[in-house]
Chains A and B, each alone.
Chain A
Amino acid sequence: MHIVVLVKPVPDTASSGERLGPDGRLDRAAVPAVVNANDEYALEAALKLVEAHGGEVTIVSMATAGATDTMRKALAMGATRGVLVTDDALAGADHVTTVKVLAAALSGLEYDLVLAGADTSDGQGGVVGAGVAVLTGLPYLSYAAKIEPDPDARQVRVRRISPTGYDVLEAALPALVVCTQALGEPRYPSLKGIMAARSKEIVTRSLADLGIEAGSVGGAVATTALVGSEAPPPRAATRVVREAPDAAAREIVAFLAERRII
């Protein structure tokens, strides 16, 4: 089985070094990047699937040229190779551009499954997976808690989380699956994985390589615009309940009831 995982390098929120550039956008160069946490769940699911069924995992990213360092971490977890689409014309890209570019990048690859995270910690749109499925014409299976491919029958079965439990979806391969944390904790890269990742291939593709005209994507044609950005207000004073469990429970319930939260 060949699986492609869509992986986005995002600013590390744990670094607490976020700052806004003059255009009001996040200054990505000032913050160390990490693999988007929800994408790590997708990657973990992909790695488990190839361990069970054989095959390879390719990660695909659209990011700045420096993203290869972050992609190496995904390779250290066990992915086979990476494809990075990077181009100056992509600055200020919105979700539509991201979808177009990732769909174009997929057209040059062979795969049975495409896995994506539910959303990203920076953009938080949660629409890229669905958009890529539309443009590529792949069956779209969302919010997967379990993925069971049958490569011989060219079928995949997915448990989709629903408000009351889960739905069982089936589709023909190749298909696109949006993954959730229910698939299992991502692994830490082993030392062997880290050392092996140093020599793994990351192919870089420009817009021209993908046959996309520079003017048709990026900030200039973005359908969303940044109108302003503000830091979140500092957190209000915290009240810590230190009573014994019984008394503490009563106090918390009273607190919530008072505010009509429960």
Chain B
Amino acid sequence: MLQEAVRVLADERIAPRAAEIDRTAEFPWDVKELLASHDILGLPFPVEYGGLGGELLTVALAVEQISRVCATSGLILAVQELGALPLLLAGTDEQKQRWFPDLAAGRTLIAFALTEAEAGSDAASARTRGVRDGDDWIIEGSKRFISQGSVADLIAVFATTETNEKTPRHERMTCFIVERGMAGFGVDRIEHKMGIRGSPTAELSFHGVRVPDANRVGEPGTGFGIAMRTLDRSRPGIAAQAVGIAQGALDVAASYASERRQFGRPIAEFQMIQAMLADMDAGTEAARQLLYKACTEIDAGSRDAARWSAMCKLVAGDNAMRVTTDAVQVLGGYGYIDEFPVERMMRDAKITQLYEGTQQIQRLVIARALAGRGG
């Protein structure tokens, strides 16, 4: 029922905007308002803080349905969940009371800032520093490739607060909530991207930003663990985006193939086209079922959460790239021009193999989980 409600909204209100969002590369504030007014941005938040109390699976179903027509718009919900996860996992009741009602209502947006120019896959090597100063912390440094970093009201920033070489690398970071208006916080630039062009990807700078200790999320030194647990729960959101993009491309390709006539019949009657469409459908359904299974496992508190989330993102991301590429192939020359949405979907799909951990990192996570079982 929820899936159906979001599907109708996406088809009727978001799909007509998708091409323009891609062309103008402007953040779709109207879509953000639409998602907010239908309580969709409230899905990831607990009911006691004004949210709808949706599980990972519920959020994934919504992200999938929106991404089917517009990957940028699907990301608005996925990033709202991503940014809020550190607070959900490690925030105090007071912090949740303070920020969640506005986030759940979509009055404010939140971003997640872990990646740096020199610290991508190796996130623990972050150079952004946090130094205690009385009741406050002073944050110094910069973050790169931050989704919606320029439009967010709150940023969950991960900074190194412990420089003692004897402290293990994974116990040196702390998570802070930086508020947009804080002195010293700035947006240095917005990247020009290949896909998800309406979602602003920002480079953020922190020049001596004074953050009250009340904005610290979790204990000092627990930041890296919070970030990793966040990614365990947010990767299914990206997998959902990937499944949605793939389904959107398959839908276009299948309907095009049944209408496009060559050699006197629809190209869908040719076996080479049929084989491509069949593989696209089977691959997308497999990715979807793995995603749903991963969500229910993680929701149920699986100790294997890292493995499930890495597997579903890996499979769904690779499938989305393959399916969208094949969709362009099915449409031939028409697939390569912006008269049809599949070229956009192909560009959008690529990011799902890169962010929230590259596919290589997903394999590393899965392999480590395997090794951890004692083989």
Q: In the assembled complex, which residues on chain A have CB atoms less than 8 Å from the CB atom of B54?
A: 195
Does B38 sit within 8 A of A, measured CB to CB? yes
Contact B52 A189 (CB under 8 A): no
Contact B1 A73 (CB under 8 A): yes
Query: Which one of B1, B40, B43 contacts A76 once the chains associate, using CB atoms below 8 Å?
Result: B1
Q: In the assembled complex, which residues on chain A have CB atoms less than 8 Å from the CB atom of B52?
A: 191-192, 195
For the complex, what is the distance from the CA of A249 to the CA of B43, rounded to whole Å?
53
Does A255 sit within 8 A of B, measured CB to CB? no
Q: In the assembled complex, which residues on chain A have CB atoms less than 8 Å from the CB atom of B40?
A: 191
Q: Which of B1, B2, B39 has the most CB of A within 10 A?
A: B1
Does B212 sit within 8 A of A, measured CB to CB? no
Q: In the assembled complex, which residues on chain A have CB atoms less than 8 Å from the CB atom of B6?
A: 191
B37-95: which residues lie under 8 A (CB-CB) from chain A?
38-40, 42-43, 52-54, 58
For the complex, what is the distance from the CA of A189 to the CA of B1, rounded to whole Å?
9
For the complex, what is the distance from the CA of A188 to the CA of B5, rounded to whole Å?
9
| Nearest B-chain residue to A192, judged by Cβ | B39
* B39, chain A: closest CB distance, angstroms: 4
A45-74: which residues lie under 8 A (CB-CB) from chain B?
72-73
Does A223 sit within 8 A of B, measured CB to CB? no
Flag A147-191 by CB within 8 Å of B: 1 or 0 each.
000000000000000000000000000000000000000001111
| Nearest B-chain residue to A195, judged by Cβ | B52
Contact B38 A190 (CB under 8 A): yes
What range describes how many residues of A lie at the interface? 10 to 19
For the complex, what is the distance from the CA of A132 to the CA of B202, rounded to whole Å?
65
| Nearest A-chain residue to B58, judged by Cβ | A195
For the complex, what is the distance from the CA of A189 to the CA of B52, rounded to whole Å?
14
Name the prevailing secondary structure of the A interface residues.
helix
* A66, chain B: closest CB distance, angstroms: 15
Does A194 sit within 8 A of B, measured CB to CB? yes
A75-127: which residues lie under 8 A (CB-CB) from chain B?
76
For the complex, what is the distance from the CA of A225 to the CA of B113, rounded to whole Å?
70
Contact B2 A194 (CB under 8 A): yes
* A187, chain B: closest CB distance, angstroms: 12
Contact B53 A194 (CB under 8 A): no
Contact (A195, B5) CB under 8 Å given A190-B38, A190-B39: no
Q: In the assembled complex, which residues on chain B have CB atoms less than 8 Å from the CB atom of A192?
A: 39, 42, 52
For the complex, what is the distance from the CA of A76 to the CA of B58, rounded to whole Å?
16
Query: Which one of B5, B43, B53, B58 contacts A189 once the chains associate, using CB atoms below 8 Å?
Result: B5
Flag B13-44 by CB within 8 Å of A: 1 or 0 each.
00000000000000000000000001110110
* B179, chain A: closest CB distance, angstroms: 28
* B170, chain A: closest CB distance, angstroms: 36
Q: List 11 A-B contacts (CB under 8 A).
A: A72-B1, A73-B1, A76-B1, A190-B38, A191-B6, A191-B38, A192-B39, A192-B42, A194-B1, A195-B43, A195-B52
B residues at A contact (CB < 8 Å): 1-2, 5-6, 38-40, 42-43, 52-54, 58
Known: A191-B40, A194-B2. 14 other contacts (CB 8 A): A73-B1, A76-B1, A188-B5, A189-B1, A189-B5, A190-B38, A191-B39, A191-B52, A192-B39, A192-B42, A195-B2, A195-B52, A195-B54, A197-B1
